Structure 1
């Protein structure tokens, strides 16, 4: 199958080689109309602070149902180096971020959410750390999670759950905000994952990575990351990066089988030596229910992995670009 986005990325790669700005700032838009003007203003301030005049700002419209696209296009009148990538529909945050990285041409790429939970001014610290350490990627993380008790608990459990179940370790409380070098970004784009979990992909890619503490404030408005979406992301992330659950399922199945055989031997021994009637209906139903539960869970887990394999071998693009505004 022809990968439309692969051809598009190849064309963008050729274009980058011809005219690569020093910095690309990449962000995604979904219900972001109210944030964009302030976000763009703060981005320009951050670029001035690091004395960067050769830049581009790439905003990816992830099928936003509000006026985000119109607001971004209108802002191009004041910011000619603003590039707007319009996706054909909502593909999700991670696919939209990957689309932005694919469109970015900069020698360095600053990835950030536009909801102003983290100020674009953090670019100053990230850029300084990258210069100081000669790292390939400097990422931000929260020293203590923001929000209420539920948000802190669910966020903490997400990272602990992923690191427990996965062979790939990601820093706890890692933020979207990070600065990356061009070789590192190109490595991410070559990975070809269809089941996207960028935090895992970024850790798996290797290179020299360094974290610094960033401060996140509570965003205005309701977050689009609900508990259901967090659970879905956790399942997708673990299934994409680890076979540990399958190994644990196999081990659990062996344990249940062993216990069942031992119980059967116990019942037979009671019959032989004590002439007891075989323990009745309750015991049989309990064992049946336990076996059925383990079997159903196992089939469901295997189904998740088969679904991931199916998505990968389909080789459909992870996103489709409807149009790019601001680039000839």
Structure 2
């Protein structure tokens, strides 16, 4: 089934919290996640879980269905996508089907601890429309991941008009009014961390130390992280394009100065035939700059192409519910 607007039944008012949980080959983590969420939220508030099965190839779908059929203590929605569309698209799908007064995207591996949700709800009830969960300890991450994250946040927040908070992932509480604002954004090259911050509204924060993953393994390869970082940079800022305007003007100015130097030194002292090395150096330098400029323009053109095609962000194969 192609992406559709949610039906009226899907959007019957739900007096509680919606947890959006994208899953991809996470069959081993689901039961423990549901148990932890129940322990953290039982007696505190009503809640539902919206699982987005992002094209899993293991027993993820059957595991969730078995929990749904065992008289679950809370409503569960299982959205099965036709293939793996990626976490950004899966989160968008979940937001369209979450019915709660507030929405919390989180991972199923319990690295986003459910025990933090009560504190987030307190901040929300105190008036915050967005409650970010910021990691204060990333020691469980590899050196490469910690370093690359620091570099990304620095570059992104330097380039963009709307910086994102450091060490804050998708795990946060979003009020219904924020979710409705996000759902009006139809772009296909999505970077949800940037979108969550771009919409504005009153923001608060809770902090936590991220625990180690108990089961399964991360599905984020180095290439996927690089692609996500590029999506974030090129969908949130046009500075990379403007840089080449500034660089071009600078090169023109320097070329004029260099030309004047050559002219006067030749006029006064005469000049031998230019050397081979300097000529090759200039050709290689300007060739490299041209290739980089073309690459950056290609990144933007590729994203324009995706928007122009107007393909759906995701395709839904089936939806199961317990309400």
Q: TM-score range by the shorter chain?
A: over 0.9
Which SS does the other structure have where 1:325 is aligned?
strand
CA contact (8 A) 1:268 1:278 kept: no
Counterpart of 2:67 (choices 56, 70, 75) is 75
Q: Cα 1:239–1:195, aligned 2, differ >3 Å: closer, same or farther? A: same
In the aligned structure 2, how far is the partner of 1:30 from the partner of 1:41?
Answer: 19
> Aligned to 1:230, which of 201, 225, 230?
225
Query: Per-residue displacement from partner, 1:3-22 (whole Å, max 9, x unpaired)?
Result: 952x423x2xx335533242
Q: Deviations over 1:186-214 (max 9, x none)?
A: 11111112111000000001111212102
Which residue does 1:172 correspond to in 2? 166
Aligned position for 2:138:
145
Residue in 1 that maps onto 2:5: 8
TM-score between both structures, scaled by the size of structure 2: 0.93
2:33 is the counterpart of 1:33 = no
Q: Is 1:255–2:255 an aligned residue pair?
A: no
Q: Deviations over 1:162-190 (max 9, x none)?
A: 11222221000002211121111111111
Residue 65 in structure 1 maps to residue 57 in structure 2: yes
Q: How many Å separate the matches in 2 of 1:222 and 1:37? A: 16
Equivalent residue for 1:214, pick from 197, 205, 208: 208
Once the two structures are overlaid, the 10-residue window that deviates more, 61-70 or 73-82, is 73-82
Any conservation in 2 of the 1:28–1:93 contact (CA below 8 Å)? Answer: yes
For 2:113 and 2:11, the matched residues in 1 are separated by: 30
Distance 1:124 1:49 in 2: 11
Structure 2 distance, partners of 1:222, 1:25, is 21
Partner of 2:235: 240
Matched, 1:86 2:80: yes
Structure 1 unaligned residues grouped into runs of 5+: none
Secondary structure of residue in 2 paired with 1:155: helix
More deviation, 256-265/79-88: 256-265
How many pairs were matched up? Answer: 319
Structure 2 counterpart SS, 1:282? helix
Aligned pair 1:281/2:273, yes or no?
A: no
Query: How many angstroms apart in 1 are the aligned matches of 2:147 and 2:98?
Result: 35
The equivalent residue for 1:110 is 104
| CA–CA distance in structure 1, aligned partners of residues 283 and 256 of structure 2 | 13
> Structure 1 residues 58 and 320, CA, compared in 2 at 3 Å: closer, same or farther?
same
Contact 2:241 2:296 (8 Å CA) reproduced: yes
CA distance in 1, matches of 2:58, 2:248: 49
Q: Measured at CA, do residues 211 and 278 of structure 1 come closer, stay the same or move farther in structure 2, by a change above 3 Å?
A: farther
Unaligned runs of 5+ in 2: none
2:103 is paired with a residue whose SS is strand
SS in structure 1 at match of 2:137: coil
Q: How far is the alpha carbon of 1:216 from its aligned partner?
A: 0.7
RMSD: 1.8
Deviation at 1:327, TM superposition (A): 5.6
Aligned residue in 1 for 2:128: 135
Deviates more, 1:253-262 or 1:208-217: 253-262
CA 158–222 in structure 1, closer or farther in 2 if over 3 Å, else same: farther
- Counterpart position of 1:185: 179
